[in-house]
Structure 1
Amino acid sequence: MGLFRSVQAVTGASGDGPVDWDAVGEAAKASTDPGSLALADGVREGYAADVRDARARVREVAAVEFDVPDTVEIQNRHHWIDANIDTFRRVMDPLGEQVGMLPGIARVANTASMSVALSFLAENVLGQYDPLLLAEGTDDHALYFVHPNIGRVSTMLDVSEPRFRRWIAFHEVAHAAEFGAAPWLSDKLEADLETAISELADGHIDRESLTALDTTMTSVEGYAELIMDRAFDDEYADLREKLDERRRGRGPIAKLIRRLLGLGMKRRQYERGKHFFETVADERGIEGASKVWEREAYLPTEEELDNPAVWLDRV
């Protein structure tokens, strides 16, 4: 029934834009098991304690001043789709002129593609720090935990769910630390993203803005990986090994979808960025690595990400 509803929603895509976003949400949720949010006693309080402890620990270890968002949600997969569909819309809608000669057919194809992407991500995201890029208004950043996925993956990895959940909380709170310590970071990402989208809408690929986005996001993900481990208040070596193995060990269909979504690049960002920050932290400590967020000029360049010694000499 879910698959039928999903196909029905996509084939009924309508409207004037390149994507029928109402149909995307309906199709993605129809093809995705929401998962249970029937939380056992103490689990909700456990999430809150994890976030509080991670905030205190990251502040102490990284020596950066920040706070976590006011919005911290424990979600199921449908909640995550609802929370992220506007982000997809903000990125895709400026590309409307690229629909082509047969907008009706293109709209159905685009709607199907977006629903598959959201469904796949909703099945795999564990936690998310959302800086609400390109959003209008003064909405605060947000922090989400997709509880059904955390429970499923902790079982797959054969690790304690509370311990695994806590480690994930440290990763997401590290993202809050980055954006809190660097008020300019959101503006930089938005400017590079808007430039890349604008050029794509005109039928061009702006490699400079795309490279800038990749370089910044490599720093964002690499620093969070470093803090996730070194600020964590428990042993993590087994968690790190199992999570890295999970990132590598996808089936052929999942690997294809991840490649189409650019998630292979995201894994490369994790690995490349983590190597950079581990090298810097080994040399100058985590406080030295945190210097990246003091000003935009301290972000590593594309060359420096692969040669941390160059960054250390410069900064």
Structure 2
Amino acid sequence: MSTVEGMADLPFGFSSGDDPERDKHKKDPESGSGGDPFGMGGAGFDMSQLGQIFSRLGEMFSGAQNMSADGTRSGPVNYDLARQLASSSIGFVAPVSEKTGAAISDAVHLAETWLDGVTALPAGTTKAVAWTPTDWVDNTLETWKRLCDPVAEQISTVWASSLPEEARSMAGPLLSMMSQMGGMAFGSQLGQALGTLSKEVLTSTDIGLPLGPKGVAALMPAAVESLAEGLEQPRSEIITFLAAREAAHHRLFSHVPWLSTQLLNAVEAFAKGMKIDMSGLEELAQGFNPAALADPSQMEQLLNQGIFEPKATPEQTAALERLETLLALIEGWVQTVVTDALGDRIPGTSALSETLRRRRATGGPAEQTFATLVGLELRPRKMREAAALWERLTEAVGADARDGVWQHPDLLPSAEDLDEPAGFIDRMIGGDTSGIDQLLADLEKDTGTDEPER
């Protein structure tokens, strides 16, 4: 099995969220979870038992706060812990040699020159660097905070607000304790995920999101070397190909000002659409002995039972579709312009494009990270269709008009357009382009600025 083919089964070291034993307890009334394992009985939801649980937990964790290393109150995720665990997972890494750094810089410069001839969007890179896995963690953690905070915050607030009024009044210090433990649990998962992901990503934009600093094109030499071992193309061609992909991503992220915000907003919208199924709490109150909470192992079991289960909502489904469509449009556009720029210069461009497309489509490290951390499968499911649409649009109207579609999110193809691109292309060819000018004029009038509304 090649390096790329094996990426779909990466051992992240923590649960993907599927726990057969936990699900068995939920579905099997004789398994114990919803029954009477401690001889307490109870066929209904007994608020007095719930109060006992909260009182016991409150005594154990009274006054607990989610504090950062400098003593100030932190957010919903313990990022100090995440950084420590990521660094521990990575271990010692040798610095990148000057020769390798220079080769990557040269490859990005060459790729930018070739891209100039196939896209109207100007170069978006101001610096080209070679990162170690540790460099990747250090330079992307701020963006991970923006991605993870909304979800972690929503989880910590939704379940508390969903409690019955009587339960909420009894919770007391439990809410603070749960915040602290939730922050540590999320930070632990994030740290382990980033440690693994840092050794697998090939560039700073490898997962389709602008994780690193704006304008900094970054390649990961160690991961590129691992990829090259399973491929037939020369390493120099692989580096140039990846440099072109990185540079193409940066053209979009640097010169389409609303794009990064739209991607992050889709993740936040997914989080805000989250609802919690509280039925697990009733099961716990019916059959759990509060005295058992004095045992740390019982406490760990409690937290791992999935008491407060997230459930999919229409809001989440819509946000996920927007994110998947936008990721597919980005990846399809990048593939199109890179193929146009390198196709006649690097014979292996087509094969390399297909390798990376399959790597994304079958679920690589990015998907596993997001599926575990925020419930999102970060998979551009219609990437092939998006690439075909951009290619046909280029043939029909040219590169300048094609890239003009990125002026505003309302101008982009929809998920339905990816399934049936002919209608979108006909609109672009058949005179509907005047509507684009009118839309932009209306937007400028409404916002009082020459920049499209974000």
TM-score by length of 2: 0.56
Which structure has more relative contact order (CA 8 Å, sep 6+)? It is 2
Please tell me whether the aligned partners of residues 218 and 273 of structure 1 are also in contact (alpha carbons under 8 angstroms): yes
Q: Superposed, which structure 2 residues align to 1:178-217 within 5 Å?
A: 178-200=252-274, 205-217=315-327
- Who is 1:59 aligned against? 116
Kindly tell me the number of residue pairs found equivalent between the two proteins: 297
Structure 2 vs 1, CA of residues 55 and 184 (structure 1 numbering), >3 Å: closer, same or farther? Answer: same
Q: Superposed, which structure 2 residues align to 1:66-215 within 5 Å?
A: 66-94=122-150, 95-96=152-153, 98-99=155-156, 102-129=178-205, 131=210, 140-200=214-274, 205-215=315-325
Structure 1 residue matching 2:189: 3-state secondary structure: helix
**Deviation (angstroms), 1:113:** 1.5
Q: Which amino acid aligns with 2:83?
A: G
More off after superposition, 271-280 vs 213-222: 271-280
- Who is 2:417 aligned against? 304
Answer yes or no: is 1:276 the counterpart of 2:389.
yes
- Who is 1:136 aligned against? none
Q: Which amino acid aligns with 2:136?
A: W
Deviation by residue 1:129-177 (Cα, 9 ceiling, x = unmatched):
46469xxxxx744322112111121122243222101100111111122
Structure 2 vs 1, CA of residues 303 and 56 (structure 1 numbering), >3 Å: closer, same or farther? Answer: same
Q: Which amino acid aligns with 1:66?
A: P
Gaps of at least 5 residues in structure 1 are 1-5, 8-12, 134-138
More off after superposition, 300-309 vs 112-121: 112-121
Please tell me whether the aligned partners of residues 324 and 381 of structure 2 are also in contact (alpha carbons under 8 angstroms): no
Gaps of at least 5 residues in structure 2 are 1-12, 15-64, 68-73, 160-174, 277-309, 429-454
- Who is 1:234 aligned against? 346
- Who is 2:297 aligned against? none
What fraction of aligned residue pairs are identical, expressed as a percent? 22
The CA distance in 2 between the partners of 1:51 and 1:72, in whole Å, is: 7
Structure 1 residue matching 2:110: 3-state secondary structure: helix
Aligned with residue 48 of structure 1, among 79, 89, 105: 105
Structure 2 residue matching 1:17: 3-state secondary structure: coil
Answer yes or no: is 1:22 the counterpart of 2:22.
no
Please tell me whether the aligned partners of residues 31 and 119 of structure 1 are also in contact (alpha carbons under 8 angstroms): yes
**Deviation (angstroms), 1:23:** 0.9
Going by fraction, where is helix more abundant, 1 or 2? 1
TM-score by length of 1: 0.78
Deviation by residue 1:54-102 (Cα, 9 ceiling, x = unmatched):
222212112x132223343210001101111111112222432523653
Larger radius of gyration: 2
